[in-house]
């Protein structure tokens, strides 16, 4: 996922708003105790998520893929006073760790953390969302997108992470090496041609597809 020279990336982060103490704690604990810490959003992407949230001031946020809670805390920074973030994950092994992180946050009472299969949970949600962040299993990205696009407020944003897949989407030799790459290629093309949205694929970190619902 390192597309920029390290010195450029370090310079950019040095000139980006700092993480909170809690976010630094989440990052340290995740890298020290949890498998696959590269799944963490991290400093630059976290600040981008927080910026989008502060610009929108959402009443309802949906996050698909909680991991250790870093991105959820970033997304909460712009919540309206009566706002709620619903975050979904299927990994029961991380539940205790992640709930302990949320309990330390000023947003604890406004985070609805649910364990289970996201496709089934989303179908039951009777909500209209202002902001959605998809960061779960890549094969189901289109299925998640199709479920939520009809639940979006006009002007709302759907953000999908990892859409560059470590550059594999632009490498024809990699297209048959795993099941995720063709799924993401199809997802990116689908969003690009969806008349219900305007989109931008932003090449930050591992790529974020940004779709604004019309």
The residues, ordered by sequence, that sit 6+ positions from 131 with a Cβ below 8 Å of its Cβ are 52, 53, 56, 58, 60, 61, 62, 75, 156, 157, 159
- Using one digit for the tens of pLDDT, what is the confidence trace for 40-50? 999 999 999 99
> In the structure, what pLDDT confidence band is assigned to residue 176 with cuts at 50, 70 and 90?
confident
- Using one digit for the tens of pLDDT, what is the confidence trace for 146-164? 999 999 999 999 999 999 9
The residues, ordered by sequence, that sit 6+ positions from 122 with a Cβ below 8 Å of its Cβ are 62, 64, 88, 144, 147, 148, 151
The H or E element containing residue 146 is helix 141-149
Q: What is the pTM of this model?
A: 0.97
Per DSSP, 205 falls in state T
Residue 65 CA neighbour count, 13 Å, CB half: 18
CATH of 6-213, picked from 3.40.50.150, 3.40.309.10, 3.40.640.10, 2.60.40.1180, is 3.40.50.150
Closest to 45 in 3D by CA, of 115, 110, 135, 137: 135
Domain ranges of the chain: 6-213
Residue 189: CB atoms within 10 A of its CB come to 11
């Amino acid at each position: 996922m390192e597309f920029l020279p390290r010195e450029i990336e370090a310079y950019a982060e040095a000139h980006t708003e700092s993480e909170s103490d809690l976010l630094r704690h989440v990052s340290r604990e995740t890298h020290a105790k949890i498998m696959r810490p590269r799944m963490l959003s991290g400093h630059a992407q976290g600040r981008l998520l927080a910026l989008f949230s502060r610009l929108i001031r959402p009443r309802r946020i949906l996050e698909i893929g909680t991991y250790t809670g870093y991105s959820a805390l970033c997304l909460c920074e712009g919540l309206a006073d009566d706002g709620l973030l619903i975050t979904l994950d299927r990994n029961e092994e991380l539940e205790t760790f992640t709930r302990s992180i949320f309990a330390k946050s000023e947003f604890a009472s406004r985070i609805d953390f649910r364990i289970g299969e996201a496709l089934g949970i989303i179908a039951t949600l009777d909500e209209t969302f202002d902001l959605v962040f998809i960061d779960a299993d890549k094969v189901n990205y289109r299925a998640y997108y199709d479920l939520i696009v009809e639940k979006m407020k006009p002007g709302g944003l759907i953000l999908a992470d990892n859409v560059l897949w470590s550059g594999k989407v632009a490498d024809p030799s990699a297209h048959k090496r795993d099941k995720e790459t063709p799924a993401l290629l199809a997802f990116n093309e689908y969003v690009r041609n969806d008349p219900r949205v305007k989109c931008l694929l932003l090449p930050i970190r591992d790529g974020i597809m940004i779709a604004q619902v019309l």
